[in-house]
Amino acid sequence: MKRLTLVLAALPLALLGACGSDSDKSENSDSAAAPASSAAAPATSAAPATSSAAAAAPAASGDKALCEQANQAKLTMAKSLATVANAQGEFDPAGLKKVVATFSKDLGKIAESGGDSPVAKDLKTLSAQFAKAAASSEPEKVLDSGDTDKAGESFDAACAKLGVKPSV
């Protein structure tokens, strides 16, 4: 459970950052776990209902803009994850579901502005994975699935071809 918790703390990095082997994920988990475990003691606070990434979504034009806006949504999600983690880095289940639901909606709004482009399609797939996690009774298992990793890696690769690096 503790390893899974650390992996979820690194979720923004793993999904939208270039993640390679399992050893890379554990390195990312260690670096991302510090902000989550340094979250304030009242870890049951809910995630913000909206994000700056969602508000910026209609302005997207082109795949590069989609990538940049998704990076901003990732940063917002990382901050929100820290608010629903306790001092041990474990997530409040209801708070986690709210964070992933908000992230899914943010990615969906960004993807809608991209039409049928390859990056928009990758964003839609990634958004669907987060929506599935938000609807699940065990969101951590869904987020830790290979499908979620594949969707994130595909998105990362498409953005890398455009010269957009992950924000974290």
Cα 156 from Cα 165, distance rounded (Å): 8
Amino acid at 119: V
pLDDT in tens, 71-107: 999 999 999 999 999 888 888 889 999 999 999 999 9
| Secondary structure tally for the chain: helices H, strands E | 9, 0
Distances (CA, A) of 7 to 19, 60, 104, 108, 114: 12, 30, 18, 23, 30
Mean pLDDT of successive 10-residue segments in the chain (168 residues)? 40 39 38 39 41 43 91 94 90 92 97 92 96 93 90 92 84
DSSP 147: H
* Residue 39 backbone phi and psi in degrees, to 5: -65, 155
Radius of gyration from C-alpha coordinates of the chain: 15
